Amino acid sequence: MQESLENYPQSPSLEPVTHRLRVVYKGVTVADTIEGWLVCEKECAPTYYIPIADWLPGTLVPAKTGNMTSQWMGRARYYHVVVGHAHAARAAWAFPEADGEFAPIRNAVSVYANLMEACFVGREKVLRQSNGYDAGWITPNLTGITQTPAMTESG
């Protein structure tokens, strides 16, 4: 079923995900959940969050550099995604101090889909973004223009 990014709310909102979410890196399923969360914002690709408990132990290693700040969720913490000797630097992040509406994602992590081998929403494989901003996950059912949400990154 088609879903338009233009119909998302102007300010971000948080919703539970009704589909299985899965992240694959270097041939290993590093995250797999049926209890994920979705942050959606008008004209931005949705960002999916997977509970830390549903990540394969040892695959998330805290990064020492970089931060991201969201006006709605606060300061983020970056993680490297690691499988064996391979690692995707600063490929994942969490908002451990999120509160209010976003409190449910305090113990959840999102990932840049472009840095992983594959990410899935249900049976749909996430598509690579060509606009240089790859925090959101684009699936074939999405329509509309994607833009950078109200976040700043430094690092």
The answer on pLDDT for 154 being more than 50 is: no
User: Domain residues of the chain, as ranges?
Assistant: 3-141
Average pLDDT over the chain reads: 82
Which pLDDT tens digit goes with each residue over 16-69? 999 999 999 999 999 999 999 998 876 677 889 999 999 999 999 999 876 676
d(CA 101, CA 110): 17
| 8 or 60, greater pLDDT | 60
CA distances from 103 to 46, 56, 100, 122, 134 (A): 18, 23, 5, 24, 23
d(CA 38, CA 16): 6
CATH architecture assigned to 3-141: Beta Complex (2.170)
| Under 8 Å between Cβ of 126 and 115 | no
Closest CA to 109 of 68, 143, 154, 152: 68
